[in-house]
């Protein structure tokens, strides 16, 4: 799930308490400029990000070379092959090798760390129905998905580096699919009833999470943004703030703001004192918004004002994200992403 203890953050999360640690090795697909800019976000002081420091992927990221760490690069090449696209398991199980430092994919779920992760998922499950029911008066539920239950949950619980949740990798894959006029869930499942998982997409999501298992927050974000850049997505930093009052008003504004773009995708890491999470959205300037939270599913709002009201009055409360110690109301970052295959980033 998205809620994980500080030592088990999934890729794409940030850890305010660790922002003063020595910097880690820079991923190959990020430049010093982009990493230094992200590190300027460290600390708890609320700040507006100055326009002259805004991050832009087309200025700061170089084309990725062969990664020095195990990653999905080889997998991505195989997924482009039509013969690999239809590669389906005979059952919802990951039968492709997936290891981390020599550890097998299957791991005992009774280790203390994985027991804690399991309890964290159980904690979220009662909130799923509350969140989905709240959408009725504002929009519609387009796909019922949660990483905390079902076949997908059973798969991430097979590895200690994914048992804490794969929210950031899921959000990145969701954005990639939407930008390619696709559907994450059609790539992840063989049908809309979620009866069978497709190996390739499951493997890619888990591997992206595993790759960032030891990263600090800023490197995790850069790793996910770098993966999206490999798929022709450009990005910039939209906003970074502390939500001391636990009110999501400014966060909502940053999500809905598309700037000069007709369509914009949002990658949003949020955190609290103990836990962290990432969700995503697709926003059109003159239209609505499609919102994806890996804990609760995909929701469609034809009216931007309806989304804003739902997010503040229903979602933020019913999800438990507004809570203090156990919530996610301490800090957020909003990254704008757009299709880099067109000069303006506007839909073709």
Average pLDDT over residues 133-160: 94
pLDDT of residue 272: 84
pLDDT of residue 110: 74
The pLDDT tens digits of the residues spanning 266-314 come to: 999 998 887 889 999 999 998 899 999 999 999 999 999 999 999 999 9
Instruction: Judge whether 87 counts as a catalytic residue.
Output: no
Average pLDDT over residues 6-31: 34
First and final C-alpha spacing in the chain: 35
Q: How confident is the model at residue 334 (pLDDT cuts 50, 70, 90)?
A: very high
Q: How confident is the model at residue 107 (pLDDT cuts 50, 70, 90)?
A: low
Distance CA 200, CA 20 (A): 37
Which of 40-44, 91-95, 120-124 bottoms out in mean pLDDT, i.e. has the lowest? Answer: 91-95
Instruction: Judge whether 167 counts as a catalytic residue.
Output: yes
Which of 264, 277, 322, 336 is catalytic? The answer is 277
Which of 293, 322, 336, 339 is catalytic? The answer is 293
Tokens of 26: 């820079």
pLDDT of residue 66: 33
Distance CA 68, CA 77 (A): 17
Q: What is the mean pLDDT of the chain?
A: 73
CA count, 13 A, side-chain hemisphere, 105: 13
Residue 11 has pLDDT above 50, yes or no: no
Give the chain's largest Cα–Cα span. 53
Distance CA 270, CA 293 (A): 12
Residue 20 has pLDDT above 90, yes or no: no
- HEC per residue, 266-288: EEEEEECCCCEEEEEEEEECCCC
The pLDDT tens digits of the residues spanning 223-248 come to: 899 999 999 999 998 888 887 666 89
pLDDT of residue 189: 93
pLDDT of residue 15: 32
Average pLDDT over residues 312-332: 88
Residue 324 has pLDDT above 90, yes or no: no
pLDDT of residue 217: 62
Distance CA 7, CA 24 (A): 16
pLDDT of residue 181: 94
Domains delineated in the chain: 7-19+31-38+53-62+112-339 (3.90.70.20)
Instruction: Judge whether 214 counts as a catalytic residue.
Output: no
Which of 167, 216, 218, 322 is catalytic? The answer is 167
Identify whether the C-beta of residue 94 lies closer than 8 Å to the C-beta of residue 103.
no
The pLDDT tens digits of the residues spanning 148-205 come to: 999 999 889 888 888 899 999 999 999 999 999 999 999 999 888 877 888 889 989 9
The pLDDT tens digits of the residues spanning 29-83 come to: 333 345 455 555 544 433 333 332 233 333 333 323 333 333 333 333 333 333 3
């Amino acid at each position: 799930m998205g809620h994980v203890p500080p030592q088990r953050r999934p890729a794409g999360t940030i850890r305010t308490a660790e922002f003063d640690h020595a910097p880690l090795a820079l991923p190959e697909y990020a430049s010093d400029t982009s990493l230094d800019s992200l590190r300027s976000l460290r600390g708890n002081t609320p700040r507006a990000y100055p326009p002259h420091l805004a991050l832009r992927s087309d200025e700061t990221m170089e084309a990725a070379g062969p990664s020095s760490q195990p990653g999905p690069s080889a997998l991505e090449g195989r997924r482009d092959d039509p013969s690999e696209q239809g590669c389906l398991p005979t059952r919802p199980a990951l039968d492709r090798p997936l290891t981390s430092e020599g550890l097998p994919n299957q791991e005992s779920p009774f280790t203390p760390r994985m027991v804690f992760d399991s309890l964290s998922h159980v904690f979220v499950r009662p909130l799923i129905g509350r969140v989905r029911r709240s959408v009725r008066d504002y929009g519609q539920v387009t796909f019922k998905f949660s990483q905390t239950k079902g076949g997908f949950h059973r798969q991430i619980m097979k590895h200690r580096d994914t048992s804490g949740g794969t929210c950031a990798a899921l959000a990145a894959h969701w954005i990639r699919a939407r930008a390619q006029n696709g559907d994450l869930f059609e790539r992840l499942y063989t049908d809309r009833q979620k009866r069978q998982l497709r190996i390739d997409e499951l493997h890619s999501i888990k591997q992206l999470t595993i790759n960032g298992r030891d990263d600090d927050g800023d490197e995790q974000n850069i790793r996910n943004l770098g993966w999206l850049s490999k798929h022709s997505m450009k990005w910039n930093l939209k906003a970074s703030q502390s939500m001391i009052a636990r009110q999501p008003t400014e966060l909502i504004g940053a999500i809905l703001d598309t700037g000069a773009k007709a369509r914009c995708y949002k990658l949003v890491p949020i955190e609290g004192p103990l836990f962290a999470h990432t969700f995503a959205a697709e926003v059109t300037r003159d239209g609505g918004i499609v919102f994806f939270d890996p804990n609760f599913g995909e929701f469609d709002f034809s009216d931007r004002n309806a989304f804003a009201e739902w997010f503040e009055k229903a979602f933020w409360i019913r999800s438990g994200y507004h809570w203090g110690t156990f919530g996610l109301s301490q800090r957020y970052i909003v990254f704008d992403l757009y299709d880099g295959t067109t000069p303006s980033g506007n839909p073709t």
